[in-house]
Amino acid sequence: MSDTILTAIISALATIAAALVGFLVKRSAEPKESPDLSSSREALLKKEHKFDVFVSAPMAAYETDAEVLADHNRIAPVVTFLEDQLRLSVYWAGRNIRSKADFDAPDISATNDVSAVLESKYFVLLYPSKIASSALFEAGIALRCCLTSIYFVHSAKDLPFLMTQASQAFKNVRIYEGILPDDLVALLRRHGKEFFSPRATGS
């Protein structure tokens, strides 16, 4: 084997070795999501999400157009703050709904909403009063697949019993009480994106 060929082979091997070392160093330096930060194994394993935040609210549960519009007007400022101030991508099924005539067919809505929950990093339930709603169903799905679930409620007592205990039982659930939209927007303004960050046990 000629010296020229041998030199080329050694040079190529050195280049490959350097690239491999660089790759391994980079991987070791990447932050790893601690399993102590969330109850959801699925969320910890997922590296990419279509949406940053899934906003869930009981709009379809209201009986009149006036109630639907009032709920839309409570939620819209929260979504606007998330998108415009925090630069987060938000899925909100009620974005274009201001009356009962605006709702999609139930089966289409259910398919789209469940798919969006599964593709979201964080989940926010906006629950201004005690009402039977598919938003509670979405919260159950989010418990399994979202890194953090936040329940913003007028009163924690309005939630079903097991959900009132969720923040004690699961690391990825937090419950806040307040009035929409002002109290939640104030929290978001104060904490920014850190509001959604998973928190270790005891923090």
Q: Is the dihedral of CA 123, 147, 164, 157 positive or negative?
A: negative
Provide block-wise average pLDDT over 10 residues at a time, the chain (203 residues). 49 45 42 51 74 93 92 96 97 94 86 93 94 90 92 94 87 93 97 86 48
- pTM score, whole prediction: 0.77
**CA 80 vs CA 73, 168, 190: distances in Å:** 11, 30, 16
Distance CA 186, CA 181 (A): 9
pLDDT score at 198: 77
Give me 2's structure tokens: 């000629």
Q: Which of 66, 58, 60, 52 is nearest to 160 (CA)?
A: 58
